[in-house]
Structure 1
Amino acid sequence: MSTETDEILERLKKITLLEAYELVKQIENTFGVDATIALSASNTNPSILPSKADETVVEEKTEFDVIIQEVPSAKRINVIKTVRSLTTLGLKEAKDLIESVPKVVCEAVSKEVAEETKKLLEEAGASIIIK
Protein backbone atom coordinates (compact mmCIF):
# COMPACT_ATOMS: atom_id res chain seq x y z
CA MET A 1 0.00 0.00 0.00
CA SER A 2 1.02 3.58 -0.45
CA THR A 3 1.96 5.90 2.38
CA GLU A 4 -1.26 7.83 1.92
CA THR A 5 -3.45 4.74 2.29
CA ASP A 6 -1.44 3.65 5.33
CA GLU A 7 -2.07 7.05 6.94
CA ILE A 8 -5.80 6.83 6.19
CA LEU A 9 -5.93 3.34 7.67
CA GLU A 10 -4.22 4.51 10.86
CA ARG A 11 -6.71 7.38 11.20
CA LEU A 12 -9.64 4.98 10.68
CA LYS A 13 -8.41 2.80 13.54
CA LYS A 14 -8.99 5.71 15.93
CA ILE A 15 -12.64 6.53 15.15
CA THR A 16 -15.72 5.33 17.04
CA LEU A 17 -18.33 2.95 15.63
CA LEU A 18 -20.76 5.80 15.16
CA GLU A 19 -18.17 7.85 13.29
CA ALA A 20 -17.38 4.83 11.09
CA TYR A 21 -21.06 4.39 10.30
CA GLU A 22 -21.38 8.09 9.41
CA LEU A 23 -18.26 7.85 7.22
CA VAL A 24 -19.72 4.92 5.27
CA LYS A 25 -22.95 6.87 4.72
CA GLN A 26 -20.98 9.91 3.49
CA ILE A 27 -18.96 7.75 1.09
CA GLU A 28 -22.15 6.15 -0.22
CA ASN A 29 -23.75 9.57 -0.79
CA THR A 30 -20.64 11.18 -2.28
CA PHE A 31 -19.83 8.40 -4.74
CA GLY A 32 -23.34 7.07 -5.32
CA VAL A 33 -22.51 3.54 -4.14
CA ASP A 34 -24.09 1.07 -1.74
CA ALA A 35 -21.58 -0.54 0.63
CA THR A 36 -23.89 -3.43 1.48
CA ILE A 37 -24.14 -4.46 -2.16
CA ALA A 38 -20.39 -4.16 -2.63
CA LEU A 39 -19.69 -6.37 0.38
CA SER A 40 -22.13 -9.09 -0.55
CA ALA A 41 -21.19 -9.04 -4.23
CA SER A 42 -17.48 -9.30 -3.51
CA ASN A 43 -17.99 -12.66 -1.82
CA THR A 44 -20.32 -14.11 -4.43
CA ASN A 45 -19.94 -15.41 -7.94
CA PRO A 46 -21.87 -12.93 -10.14
CA SER A 47 -23.32 -15.72 -12.24
CA ILE A 48 -25.23 -17.10 -9.24
CA LEU A 49 -26.65 -13.77 -8.07
CA PRO A 50 -30.42 -13.66 -8.41
CA SER A 51 -31.82 -11.44 -11.09
CA LYS A 52 -34.33 -8.72 -10.27
CA ALA A 53 -37.11 -10.93 -11.63
CA ASP A 54 -36.19 -13.74 -9.22
CA GLU A 55 -36.33 -11.57 -6.11
CA THR A 56 -39.29 -11.86 -3.81
CA VAL A 57 -40.43 -8.79 -1.98
CA VAL A 58 -39.35 -9.31 1.60
CA GLU A 59 -38.62 -6.14 3.47
CA GLU A 60 -36.12 -6.56 6.23
CA LYS A 61 -35.61 -3.85 8.78
CA THR A 62 -32.31 -2.13 8.06
CA GLU A 63 -32.25 0.71 10.57
CA PHE A 64 -32.35 0.22 14.30
CA ASP A 65 -32.47 2.42 17.40
CA VAL A 66 -30.42 1.57 20.48
CA ILE A 67 -32.27 2.56 23.64
CA ILE A 68 -30.90 2.67 27.18
CA GLN A 69 -33.66 1.32 29.42
CA GLU A 70 -32.00 1.41 32.81
CA VAL A 71 -28.67 2.27 34.41
CA PRO A 72 -27.93 1.05 37.94
CA SER A 73 -26.49 3.78 40.18
CA ALA A 74 -23.29 1.84 40.74
CA LYS A 75 -22.65 1.60 36.98
CA ARG A 76 -23.38 5.19 35.93
CA ILE A 77 -19.77 6.30 35.54
CA ASN A 78 -18.91 3.35 33.29
CA VAL A 79 -22.03 3.88 31.20
CA ILE A 80 -21.31 7.62 30.84
CA LYS A 81 -17.79 6.82 29.62
CA THR A 82 -19.14 4.29 27.13
CA VAL A 83 -21.84 6.67 25.85
CA ARG A 84 -19.19 9.35 25.33
CA SER A 85 -16.95 6.93 23.42
CA LEU A 86 -19.84 5.90 21.14
CA THR A 87 -21.22 9.37 20.50
CA THR A 88 -20.07 12.94 20.20
CA LEU A 89 -21.73 13.88 23.49
CA GLY A 90 -19.83 15.76 26.14
CA LEU A 91 -19.73 14.78 29.80
CA LYS A 92 -22.80 16.79 30.81
CA GLU A 93 -24.88 15.63 27.85
CA ALA A 94 -23.97 11.97 28.43
CA LYS A 95 -24.79 12.31 32.14
CA ASP A 96 -28.13 13.97 31.34
CA LEU A 97 -28.93 11.22 28.83
CA ILE A 98 -28.42 8.34 31.25
CA GLU A 99 -30.28 10.14 34.03
CA SER A 100 -33.39 10.50 31.87
CA VAL A 101 -33.73 6.91 30.65
CA PRO A 102 -35.27 5.39 28.65
CA LYS A 103 -33.43 7.32 25.93
CA VAL A 104 -32.21 6.62 22.41
CA VAL A 105 -28.41 6.52 22.24
CA CYS A 106 -27.99 5.67 18.56
CA GLU A 107 -30.75 6.28 16.05
CA ALA A 108 -31.26 4.66 12.64
CA VAL A 109 -28.05 2.62 12.65
CA SER A 110 -27.31 -0.69 10.95
CA LYS A 111 -27.93 -3.96 12.73
CA GLU A 112 -24.20 -4.55 13.18
CA VAL A 113 -23.63 -1.12 14.74
CA ALA A 114 -26.70 -1.56 16.97
CA GLU A 115 -25.51 -4.98 18.18
CA GLU A 116 -21.99 -3.71 18.90
CA THR A 117 -23.35 -0.64 20.70
CA LYS A 118 -25.66 -2.83 22.77
CA LYS A 119 -22.80 -5.15 23.68
CA LEU A 120 -20.56 -2.29 24.82
CA LEU A 121 -23.27 -0.58 26.86
CA GLU A 122 -24.34 -3.83 28.51
CA GLU A 123 -20.71 -4.54 29.41
CA ALA A 124 -20.66 -1.11 31.07
CA GLY A 125 -23.75 -2.07 33.08
CA ALA A 126 -26.71 -0.56 31.22
CA SER A 127 -29.92 -2.35 30.29
CA ILE A 128 -30.39 -1.96 26.50
CA ILE A 129 -33.03 -2.72 23.90
CA ILE A 130 -32.84 -2.47 20.13
CA LYS A 131 -35.91 -1.40 18.19
Structure 2
Amino acid sequence: MSLSYQSAIRCCARAAKSSSSPALRVSATPLSRQRRWQSTAPSNPKIASIVDQISQLTLLETADLVSTLKSRLNIPDMPIGGFAAAAAPATPAPVEEEEAAPAAQEKTLFNLKLQSFDAAAKPKVIKEVKSMLGLSLVDSKKFVESAPKMMKEGVPKEEGQKIVDTLKALGAVVVME
Protein backbone atom coordinates (compact mmCIF):
# COMPACT_ATOMS: atom_id res chain seq x y z
CA MET A 1 0.00 0.00 0.00
CA SER A 2 2.75 2.43 0.94
CA LEU A 3 4.39 1.93 -2.44
CA SER A 4 1.24 3.06 -4.23
CA TYR A 5 1.00 6.11 -1.96
CA GLN A 6 4.59 7.01 -2.75
CA SER A 7 4.06 6.68 -6.47
CA ALA A 8 0.89 8.76 -6.23
CA ILE A 9 2.75 11.47 -4.32
CA ARG A 10 5.54 11.49 -6.92
CA CYS A 11 2.99 11.72 -9.72
CA CYS A 12 1.21 14.63 -8.02
CA ALA A 13 4.51 16.38 -7.40
CA ARG A 14 5.43 16.06 -11.08
CA ALA A 15 2.04 17.41 -12.10
CA ALA A 16 2.38 20.32 -9.69
CA LYS A 17 5.85 21.16 -11.03
CA SER A 18 4.67 21.04 -14.63
CA SER A 19 1.56 23.14 -13.93
CA SER A 20 3.41 25.75 -11.85
CA SER A 21 4.87 27.36 -14.97
CA PRO A 22 2.25 27.12 -17.73
CA ALA A 23 4.31 29.16 -20.19
CA LEU A 24 7.11 26.61 -20.03
CA ARG A 25 4.71 23.68 -20.29
CA VAL A 26 2.96 24.99 -23.41
CA SER A 27 6.18 25.89 -25.13
CA ALA A 28 7.83 22.59 -24.15
CA THR A 29 5.05 20.42 -25.55
CA PRO A 30 4.94 19.97 -29.29
CA LEU A 31 1.93 21.39 -31.12
CA SER A 32 0.60 17.90 -31.90
CA ARG A 33 0.41 17.03 -28.18
CA GLN A 34 -1.41 20.17 -27.06
CA ARG A 35 -4.99 19.85 -25.99
CA ARG A 36 -7.66 21.07 -28.35
CA TRP A 37 -8.71 23.95 -26.11
CA GLN A 38 -5.10 25.09 -25.84
CA SER A 39 -4.27 24.93 -29.54
CA THR A 40 -7.39 26.42 -31.11
CA ALA A 41 -8.15 30.08 -30.67
CA PRO A 42 -11.22 31.80 -32.10
CA SER A 43 -10.38 33.70 -35.24
CA ASN A 44 -12.86 36.49 -34.46
CA PRO A 45 -11.52 38.89 -31.79
CA LYS A 46 -15.07 39.69 -30.63
CA ILE A 47 -15.70 36.00 -29.92
CA ALA A 48 -12.31 35.68 -28.23
CA SER A 49 -13.16 38.51 -25.83
CA ILE A 50 -16.56 36.96 -25.03
CA VAL A 51 -14.93 33.58 -24.35
CA ASP A 52 -12.41 35.27 -22.04
CA GLN A 53 -15.19 37.04 -20.16
CA ILE A 54 -17.26 33.86 -19.80
CA SER A 55 -14.28 31.85 -18.57
CA GLN A 56 -13.84 34.34 -15.71
CA LEU A 57 -17.44 33.97 -14.44
CA THR A 58 -18.30 32.07 -11.29
CA LEU A 59 -20.63 29.09 -11.35
CA LEU A 60 -23.64 31.13 -10.19
CA GLU A 61 -22.94 33.85 -12.73
CA THR A 62 -22.67 31.20 -15.47
CA ALA A 63 -26.02 29.69 -14.46
CA ASP A 64 -27.58 33.15 -14.52
CA LEU A 65 -26.07 33.77 -17.97
CA VAL A 66 -27.50 30.49 -19.29
CA SER A 67 -31.00 31.21 -17.96
CA THR A 68 -30.90 34.76 -19.36
CA LEU A 69 -29.82 33.49 -22.78
CA LYS A 70 -32.54 30.82 -22.76
CA SER A 71 -35.23 33.36 -21.99
CA ARG A 72 -33.97 35.97 -24.44
CA LEU A 73 -33.46 33.51 -27.30
CA ASN A 74 -36.63 31.49 -26.50
CA ILE A 75 -34.72 28.22 -26.08
CA PRO A 76 -36.83 25.55 -24.32
CA ASP A 77 -35.36 23.47 -21.51
CA MET A 78 -34.28 20.03 -22.67
CA PRO A 79 -35.87 17.18 -20.71
CA ILE A 80 -33.61 14.74 -18.88
CA GLY A 81 -34.35 12.11 -21.56
CA GLY A 82 -32.06 13.91 -23.98
CA PHE A 83 -32.32 13.44 -27.73
CA ALA A 84 -34.95 10.69 -27.69
CA ALA A 85 -37.41 12.92 -25.87
CA ALA A 86 -36.48 15.90 -28.03
CA ALA A 87 -37.23 13.93 -31.22
CA ALA A 88 -40.94 13.85 -30.40
CA PRO A 89 -42.86 16.72 -32.00
CA ALA A 90 -43.54 19.47 -29.51
CA THR A 91 -47.10 20.77 -29.49
CA PRO A 92 -47.76 23.70 -27.21
CA ALA A 93 -50.71 23.12 -24.90
CA PRO A 94 -52.76 25.75 -23.12
CA VAL A 95 -51.77 26.43 -19.53
CA GLU A 96 -55.23 25.61 -18.17
CA GLU A 97 -55.04 22.02 -19.42
CA GLU A 98 -51.61 21.48 -17.86
CA GLU A 99 -52.85 22.62 -14.46
CA ALA A 100 -55.97 20.44 -14.63
CA ALA A 101 -54.08 17.31 -15.68
CA PRO A 102 -52.32 16.52 -12.34
CA ALA A 103 -55.62 16.76 -10.43
CA ALA A 104 -57.31 14.22 -12.75
CA GLN A 105 -54.28 11.90 -12.90
CA GLU A 106 -55.02 8.46 -11.48
CA LYS A 107 -52.60 6.61 -9.23
CA THR A 108 -51.01 3.67 -11.06
CA LEU A 109 -48.51 2.22 -8.55
CA PHE A 110 -49.58 0.90 -5.16
CA ASN A 111 -48.02 -0.50 -2.00
CA LEU A 112 -49.37 -3.80 -0.68
CA LYS A 113 -49.61 -4.22 3.07
CA LEU A 114 -50.46 -7.44 4.88
CA GLN A 115 -52.81 -6.29 7.65
CA SER A 116 -53.87 -9.55 9.27
CA PHE A 117 -54.72 -13.18 8.59
CA ASP A 118 -57.01 -15.91 9.81
CA ALA A 119 -55.27 -18.20 12.30
CA ALA A 120 -56.59 -21.31 10.57
CA ALA A 121 -55.22 -20.13 7.21
CA LYS A 122 -51.75 -19.28 8.52
CA PRO A 123 -49.88 -22.15 6.75
CA LYS A 124 -51.50 -21.33 3.40
CA VAL A 125 -50.69 -17.62 3.78
CA ILE A 126 -47.08 -18.44 4.68
CA LYS A 127 -46.71 -20.65 1.58
CA GLU A 128 -48.22 -17.96 -0.66
CA VAL A 129 -45.99 -15.22 0.80
CA LYS A 130 -42.98 -17.53 0.38
CA SER A 131 -43.72 -18.01 -3.32
CA MET A 132 -44.62 -14.35 -3.91
CA LEU A 133 -41.66 -12.73 -2.19
CA GLY A 134 -39.09 -15.47 -2.77
CA LEU A 135 -38.29 -15.84 0.94
CA SER A 136 -37.27 -18.96 2.79
CA LEU A 137 -39.90 -20.80 4.82
CA VAL A 138 -38.55 -19.43 8.11
CA ASP A 139 -38.43 -15.87 6.80
CA SER A 140 -41.93 -16.19 5.37
CA LYS A 141 -43.24 -17.39 8.75
CA LYS A 142 -41.57 -14.47 10.54
CA PHE A 143 -42.92 -12.07 7.91
CA VAL A 144 -46.52 -13.29 8.26
CA GLU A 145 -46.35 -13.34 12.06
CA SER A 146 -45.12 -9.74 12.13
CA ALA A 147 -48.28 -8.45 10.36
CA PRO A 148 -49.19 -5.66 9.74
CA LYS A 149 -46.22 -5.34 7.40
CA MET A 150 -45.49 -3.90 3.94
CA MET A 151 -45.33 -6.69 1.37
CA LYS A 152 -44.49 -4.96 -1.90
CA GLU A 153 -43.99 -1.36 -3.01
CA GLY A 154 -44.62 0.19 -6.42
CA VAL A 155 -46.86 -2.56 -7.75
CA PRO A 156 -49.09 -1.87 -10.79
CA LYS A 157 -52.81 -1.84 -10.09
CA GLU A 158 -53.67 -5.05 -12.00
CA GLU A 159 -50.90 -7.09 -10.38
CA GLY A 160 -51.71 -5.67 -6.95
CA GLN A 161 -55.40 -6.52 -7.29
CA LYS A 162 -54.50 -10.06 -8.31
CA ILE A 163 -52.30 -10.49 -5.20
CA VAL A 164 -55.00 -9.01 -2.94
CA ASP A 165 -57.62 -11.38 -4.36
CA THR A 166 -55.34 -14.41 -3.99
CA LEU A 167 -54.49 -13.69 -0.37
CA LYS A 168 -58.06 -12.73 0.48
CA ALA A 169 -59.21 -16.13 -0.80
CA LEU A 170 -56.71 -17.76 1.58
CA GLY A 171 -57.97 -15.80 4.59
CA ALA A 172 -55.56 -12.86 4.77
CA VAL A 173 -56.38 -9.16 4.76
CA VAL A 174 -54.19 -7.19 2.32
CA VAL A 175 -54.60 -3.47 1.67
CA MET A 176 -53.53 -1.53 -1.43
CA GLU A 177 -52.23 1.89 -0.41
- Residue in structure 2 matched with residue 4 of structure 1 by the alignment: none
User: Which AA in structure 1 matches 2:110?
Assistant: F
| CA shift for structure 1 position 59 | 2.2
Matches within 5 A, 1:55-74: 56-57=100-101, 58-74=104-120
C-alpha distance in 1 between matches for 2:92 and 2:117 = 46
Q: How many residues in Structure 1 have an aligned counterpart in Structure 2?
A: 82
1:92 equivalenced with 2:138 (yes/no)? yes
Which SS does the other structure have where 2:105 is aligned?
A: coil
Runs of 5+ unmatched residues, structure 2: 1-83, 85-90
Which one has a bigger Cα radius of gyration?
A: 2
Any idea what SS the aligned residue of 1:106 has? strand
Change (3 A) 1:93 1:52: farther
C-alpha root-mean-square deviation of aligned residues, in Å?
2.0
The runs of 4+ residues in structure 1 deviating greater than 6 Å are: none
- Per the TM alignment, residue 52 of structure 1 is displaced from its structure 2 partner at its CA by 7.6
One-letter amino acid of the counterpart of residue 172, structure 2: A
Residue 125 of structure 1 pairs with residue 171 of structure 2: yes
Which of 103, 106, 124 pairs up with 1:78?
Answer: 124
Question: Aligned-pair distance for 1:65?
Answer: 0.9
For 2:175 and 2:127, locate their aligned partners in 1 and report how far apart those are by CA, in whole Å: 19
Q: What letter corresponds to residue 170 of structure 2 in structure 1?
A: A
Cross-structure match for 2:159: 113
Query: For the residues of structure 2 that align with 1:76 and 1:52, how far apart are their CA atoms?
Result: 56
Cα shift at 1:124? 1.3
- Residue 176 of structure 2 aligns with an amino acid whose one-letter code is I
Q: TM-score, normalised to structure 2's length?
A: 0.42
Larger relative contact order (Cα-Cα within 8 Å, sequence gap ≥ 6): 1
